[in-house]
Amino acid sequence: MIGQTQKPIEEILEFLDGKEKVVLVGCGGCATVFHTGGETEVKEMADTLSQHGKNILAAIAVPFGEFTCYAPWSKERLKPYRKQIEECDAILMMSCGDGFQVVRQLVLEDEFGLVKPMYPATDAIGHMGGGPTLFREKCMQCGECVLGQYAGICPMTQCAKGLLNGPCGGSKNGKCEQEPEHDCAWILIYERLKKLGEMGKIKEFVPAKDYSKMKRPRQIEVAPL
Amino acid sequence: MSLKPSLEAGKFVVTTEVGPLKGTDTTELEEVAELLLGRVDATNVTDQQSSVMRLGSLATCHLLKQRGLDPVFQMTCRDRNRLALQSDLLSAYVLGIENVLAITGDLPSLGDHPQAKPVYDLDSVQLLWVIGRLNEGYDMVGNELKGKPNFFPGAVVNPGADTETAFELQLIKMEKKIAQGAKFFQTQAIYDVETFAKFMKRVEGFGVPVLAGIIPLKSVGMARFMNKNVAGVFVPDELINKMAEAEDKAKTGIEIAANLIKELKDISQGVHIMAIGSEKRVPQILDAAGL
């Protein structure tokens, strides 16, 4: 899931300066779990912005489970609000950058033929997993998963330096020198490989990573569901 | 005096280190170089240590070489990708630099530019492999070089790693570094000779020289700071008390360092003195240690 926090209201008001008629779009995916764009937050944002003198033409709440980054769903969700979107001065998108850019390009531009000012209400902070309350970055989508080599612990995300032939000399009391609350990933990898009887893996030289698999922006074409 | 021949001759080697300053004024560097000439086998130049932006190791190594010292070009993986690392290695060789210390490098968040993008395209073991390839006359993707370098690569190890697992990992990594061509090791600062002796027993079969790190103490505050913040460094209470009771802190710090060196003579292949700003004291330390 995409971990996210809501931008400070001051920043949002700066975006919307001079824009009176606003449409809010939430997201039923990660934004609901992280309380940045769920039904509750959309309602709250509508109230807050109204108090600041904005005219909320539509506050589009999206039920939990429906992620706006999946274009077929976003198109259906936004079609009934086409008029309000056409009329508004700005759209405030309460989701991560995936949902934002899908709505902007595939729905508003490609489907409705509209080019409108659109602003983010959210800062995405990492591809995370966990819950119900604590989430932590797990995967950085390197394109070449090496979890099989490291006893199921990803050194790219769990090691602050992303070392493949770790550790560095910086661990103190089994914790990372950058984040004293975080366990040194290499100590975890060592201990898990030991339990699995696979110590050979940590003794092997791992060659340099192929970062061409992370050339931006990546894309893929698949059969529809 | 130079590193490779001294190590090969089985001499007790002395290396030291300079950390370039922030700016283009090289006066102090040149003064230190004068004092070190003829006293040390080699002089490391740190690569933006502690992630603080400073004058580069490459330029500084070249300056030291011009003044007759044998530099060790410290190269971290924090700031440059594989293209820049290979290129800087070739540049170093062209400027007469042969000794390279391949290290990972501190995180930017620890230094004065915490907003910087960390690179770590390669790690220290991969960097050693790359140095080996360049020595063979090829870049890391197999292209033949027109003119090849002949580097003498080294690496670091932390014998003071503070948990059993961390210690075992240091040994595993040391073996990997040797397999990828490391010809010498310099360690983090040693204050407890017994712990270091245990470490040396474990690695004696590896057949690669180890130079024990020495950081001369300057104050009680410094010792406590290192204990709290520097991984793998542990200054025992006995030495902290000695510093606390000392009237002349600098003199006592020098004495402690010299004593450590004397004790380490029989169990290591040399010492690496990191004076952290007080490089001008190094000759006194060597005098006191009888070197």
Ordered structural domains, chain B, with CATH: 3-289 (3.20.20.220)
DSSP B24-74: S--HHHHHHHHHHTTT-SEEEE-SSGGG---S-HHHHHHHHHHTT--EEEE
pLDDT value, residue B135: 98
pLDDT digits (tens, 9 = 90+) for B6-27: 999 999 999 999 999 999 999 9
ipTM: 0.92
How far CA A22 is from CA of A18, A46, A90, A121, in Å, comes to: 11, 9, 5, 13
Task: Give the whole-angstrom CA distance, residue A186 versus residue A191.
Answer: 8
CB pairs under 8 A between A and B: 90
pLDDT value, residue A10: 98
Interface test with B, best of A156, A164, A172 (most B CBs within 10 A): A172
Residue B231 has pLDDT above 90, yes or no: no
Is residue B191 within 8 A of residue B230, CB to CB? The reply is no
A124/chain B closest Cα distance in angstroms = 17
Half-sphere exposure of B249 (CA within 13 A, CB side): 12
pTM score = 0.95
- Would you write out chain A's pLDDT as a tens digit for each of its 225 residues? 999 999 999 999 999 999 999 999 999 999 999 999 999 999 999 999 999 999 999 999 999 999 999 999 999 999 999 999 999 999 999 999 999 999 999 999 999 999 999 999 999 999 999 999 999 999 999 999 989 999 999 999 999 999 999 999 988 889 998 888 899 999 999 999 999 999 999 999 999 999 999 999 999 999 999
Provide the residue ranges of all domains of chain A, joining segments of one domain with +: 2-127, 139-204
Selecting from A165, A178, A187 the residue whose C-beta is nearest the C-beta of B165 gives: A187
Tokens for B42, please give them: 């080699």
Residue B162 has pLDDT above 90, yes or no: no
How far, rounded to the nearest angstrom, does the alpha carbon of residue B122 sit from its chain's CA centroid? 19
Chain A residues touching residue B118 (CB < 8 angstroms): 161
Q: Work out the pLDDT band at B250, boundaries 50, 70, 90.
A: very high
pLDDT value, residue B191: 94
List the one residue out of B182, B203, B106, B88 whose CA is nearest residue A205.
Answer: B182
Sequence-distant (≥ 6) Cβ neighbours of residue B221 within 8 angstroms? none
Find the closest chain A residue to B188 by CA distance: A169
The sign of the torsion formed by the CA atoms of B136, B141, B147, B151 equals negative
Residue B223 has pLDDT above 90, yes or no: yes
Interface test with B, best of A150, A171, A178, A179 (most B CBs within 10 A): A171
> Tokens 């509750």 map to which residue?
A40
Q: Work out the pLDDT band at B235, boundaries 50, 70, 90.
A: very high
pLDDT digits (tens, 9 = 90+) for B64-101: 999 999 999 999 999 999 999 999 999 999 999 999 99
pLDDT value, residue B243: 95
Half-sphere exposure of B4 (CA within 13 A, CB side): 13
Tokens for B172, please give them: 């595993």
Residues listed for chain B: 291
pLDDT value, residue B75: 98
How is residue A175 annotated by DSSP?
A: B
Is residue B44 within 8 A of residue B17, CB to CB? The reply is yes
> What number is the average pLDDT over the span B207-232?
93
Task: Give the whole-angstrom CA distance, residue A173 versus residue B218.
Answer: 26
Sequence-distant (≥ 6) Cβ neighbours of residue A107 within 8 angstroms? A71, A74, A75, A78
How does strand B99-103 pair with strand B152-157? Answer: parallel
> Tokens 């939430």 map to which residue?
A26
Topology, domain A2-127: Rossmann fold (3.40.50)
Residues listed for chain A: 225
Sequence-distant (≥ 6) Cβ neighbours of residue A114 within 8 angstroms? A85, A86, A108
Tokens for A107, please give them: 């729905």
Task: Give the whole-angstrom CA distance, residue A1 versus residue A126.
Answer: 8
B134-172 in b/e form (b: 16+ CB < 10 A) is bbeeebbeeeeeeeebebbbbbbbbbbbbeebbbbbbbb
Is residue B26 within 8 A of residue B63, CB to CB? The reply is yes
B59/chain A closest Cα distance in angstroms = 26
Within 10 angstroms of residue A29's Cβ, the number of other Cβ atoms is: 25
B177/chain A closest Cα distance in angstroms = 9
E strands within B147-234?
A: 152-157, 184-189, 210-214
Are the Cβ atoms of A205 and B179 closer than 8 angstroms?
Answer: yes
pLDDT value, residue B253: 94
> Tokens 């020495």 map to which residue?
B214
How far CA B197 is from CA of A224, B194, B233, B289, in Å, comes to: 65, 5, 15, 19
pLDDT value, residue A179: 82
Residue B1 has pLDDT above 90, yes or no: no
Query: With the CA atoms of B105, B112, B48 and B236 taken in that order, what torsion angle do they form, in degrees rounded to the nearest 10?
Result: -70
Q: Work out the pLDDT band at B232, boundaries 50, 70, 90.
A: confident
List the one residue out of B108, B103, B139 whose CA is nearest residue B124.
Answer: B103
pLDDT value, residue A87: 98
Q: A71 φ, ψ to 5°?
A: -50, -45
Are the Cβ atoms of B231 and A166 closer than 8 angstroms?
Answer: no
pLDDT value, residue B185: 98
pLDDT value, residue A145: 94
Task: Give the whole-angstrom CA distance, residue A127 versus residue A112.
Answer: 31
Chain A residues touching residue B170 (CB < 8 angstroms): 169
What residue type is assigned to position A148 of the chain? G
Task: Give the whole-angstrom CA distance, residue B70 versus residue B212.
Answer: 19
- H or E stretch covering A50: helix A39-51
Are the Cβ atoms of A162 and B170 closer than 8 angstroms?
Answer: no
Task: Give the whole-angstrom CA distance, residue B73 versus residue B152.
Answer: 10
